[in-house]
Structure 1
Amino acid sequence: MQRYFLPPEQFQQATQTVTIEGDDGHHLQRVMRAQIGDEVICSNGVNREVRVRITELDKGRVIAEVVEELPMHAEAAVQVWVAQSLPKGDKMETVIQKGTEIGAARFLPFLSERTVVQYDAKKEAKRTERWQKIAKEAAEQAHRNRVPEVEGLHTWKQLLQRAKEADVAWICYEKEDGQQLKPAIRDAVAAGKLGSGKKVLLVVGPEGGFSEQEIQQAEEVGFRSVSLGARILRTETAAMVGLTCLFYETGEMGG
């Protein structure tokens, strides 16, 4: 069943109706060819998700009545924030789309020493808006209850400061020859750091990886460097592998 994330103000509690408009209303009418009587799922992305039946179709505007209140149990117990050093081309879009499908709660793009993408402040707001839209569409496709937030671009120093907000902070480092991610996850579970409501910050570097100085700086503020295995992964693959390993080990993927 088609799913839409809507602002809370489009849910009318008194009349038990929902208004679907803007891009979502256009998509429902023009792309999905919706008819009166069709049913879709609408979520406010916070605390309410409902199955609704369409009662009125107007130009770019759809009115639907609430048929059923639905439980919200599609989100992972552990909140995983993916910090991704800005990669080339459209790779960031892939990270956000696939990371959202897997279950990431937040994305933090950042600049690091070996980032090769040229930062353009004039394009920053528009680019972040596009990334947020990709997260919304991926969350709808994956039947999630919430849309991950895509934050604005961080500097390296700003990113390091975010470690204090997390219960666990890991930085993926291809030269790490001691700590693998799997035992690191199990140690964190045993220490009670990966229970319900806990936050994990998973940091992935650019195409050229992190410098030794950056790893040292990260470890000084509380990050722990971990390896994703013996093979070198592309930057857009690393976040997906890390997310999948984490959710598997914490029982979010049928474990």
Structure 2
Amino acid sequence: MNIVLFESDEIGQPLVLSDERAKHILGVLGRQKSDTFDAGVIDGKRGKATVDSIGTESISLSFDLQHEEPSLYPIDLIVGLSRPQTNRKILQEATSMGVRSLSFVTTERGEASYATSKLWTTREWRRHVVAGVVQAFTTRMPQVSFGISLKVALEAKANAEVKIALDNYEADLTLSEVDRGSDSIALALGSERGWSGAEREMLREHHFQLAHLGPRPLRTETAVVAGIAVLLR
């Protein structure tokens, strides 16, 4: 953990020793009474926490959180639902890179069952988002939605300044050649089997420009990271 994060209602409460964060503070960081470590409140301020006491069942902490975190990058990601293991990687990596939102959409070539996997039904997804936030040494979490249709997701980004869909088959420009602007970018990627012809037409109807990342087909999670990296240049 590059930073230890807490929910706002956990501040001032004992942290049980069985909690992974307590194990990290005491075991990995090696903190003892009166020692400090980097901490923050999810979607709140960042600063230092102090170990006030170490008991047999829990530790007590105090917080000095003064640093206001900057806003996330104005990049809204739309991704076709893929296998749960792929979605887990996307959740963590896209979050660590600072995107503002992630929308996982149903597509014609994606498996319908992906939307009802335990990743989504048990809120496991949030754990992977938090892991991405921790990796990035920040507190800001992106908005996450899942199981919505591609059409609904595209309509929700109607006001985006720049709209781009990655596609290896019909795109004429590379992503780096697209005029990316700066205020708001919506980036769409298909599921592991890509877009259907009807979905490409829908993307165009919603003013999404097709672009590619080169001639080599990439895994979805790799394309997500590469696409975000190009947009952040």
Assess same fold via TM > 0.5: yes
Q: How many residues align?
A: 229
Aligned residue among 164, 167, 180 for 1:188: 180
Q: TM-score, normalised by structure 1?
A: 0.78
In the alignment, which residue of structure 2 is the partner of 1:14?
A: none
Q: Tell me, which stretches of 5 or more residues in structure 2 are unaligned?
A: none
Q: Given that residues 77 and 186 in structure 2 are in contact (C-alpha distance below 8 angstroms), is that contact kept between their aligned partners in structure 1?
A: yes
In the alignment, which residue of structure 2 is the partner of 1:167?
A: 161
In the alignment, which residue of structure 2 is the partner of 1:150?
A: 144
Q: Given that residues 45 and 147 in structure 1 are in contact (C-alpha distance below 8 angstroms), is that contact kept between their aligned partners in structure 2?
A: yes
In the alignment, which residue of structure 2 is the partner of 1:216?
A: 201
Query: What is the identity, as a one-letter code, of the residue corresponding to 2:232?
Result: F
In the alignment, which residue of structure 2 is the partner of 1:4?
A: 4
In the alignment, which residue of structure 1 is the partner of 2:104?
A: 109
Q: Tell me, which stretches of 5 or more residues in structure 1 are unaligned?
A: 12-17, 249-255
Cα distance 1:130–1:71, how it changes in 2: closer, same or farther (>3 A)?
Answer: same
Deviation at 1:204, TM superposition (A): 0.8
Supply the RMSD in Å over aligned alpha carbons: 2.7
In the alignment, which residue of structure 1 is the partner of 2:69?
A: 72
Deviation at 1:234, TM superposition (A): 1.6
Aligned residue among 121, 132, 136 for 2:130: 136
Q: How does 1:1-80 map to 2 (within 5 A)?
A: 2-11=2-11, 18-19=12-13, 21=15, 26-33=19-26, 34-58=31-55, 61-67=58-64, 69-73=66-70, 76=72, 78-80=73-75
Cα distance 1:116–1:47, how it changes in 2: closer, same or farther (>3 A)?
Answer: closer
Higher strand share: 2
Query: What is the identity, as a one-letter code, of the residue corresponding to 1:4?
Result: V
Partner Cα separation in structure 1 for residue 223 and residue 117 of structure 2:
29
Q: How does 1:171-250 map to 2 (within 5 A)?
A: 171-184=165-178, 187-189=179-181, 194=182, 198-248=183-233
Query: What is the identity, as a one-letter code, of the residue corresponding to 2:54?
Result: L
Q: How does 1:91-102 map to 2 (within 5 A)?
A: 91-102=86-97
Can you list the C-alpha shifts for 1:170-190, whole angstroms capped at 9, x where unaligned?
111111342221121xx233x
Q: TM-score, normalised by structure 2?
A: 0.84
Task: Classify the secondary structure of the residue corresponding to 1:64.
Answer: strand
Task: Classify the secondary structure of the residue corresponding to 1:151.
Answer: strand
Q: Given that residues 75 and 184 in structure 2 are in contact (C-alpha distance below 8 angstroms), is that contact kept between their aligned partners in structure 1?
A: yes
Q: Given that residues 132 and 149 in structure 1 are in contact (C-alpha distance below 8 angstroms), is that contact kept between their aligned partners in structure 2?
A: no
Partner Cα separation in structure 1 for residue 185 and residue 110 of structure 2:
23
Query: What is the identity, as a one-letter code, of the residue corresponding to 1:40?
Result: F
Deviation at 1:79, TM superposition (A): 1.9
Q: Given that residues 111 and 153 in structure 1 are in contact (C-alpha distance below 8 angstroms), is that contact kept between their aligned partners in structure 2?
A: yes
* Identity percentage of aligned residues: 19
Deviation at 1:22, TM superposition (A): 6.8
Can you list the C-alpha shifts for 1:42-92, whole angstroms capped at 9, x where unaligned?
32233422212111335665432334623524x55x321222111125011
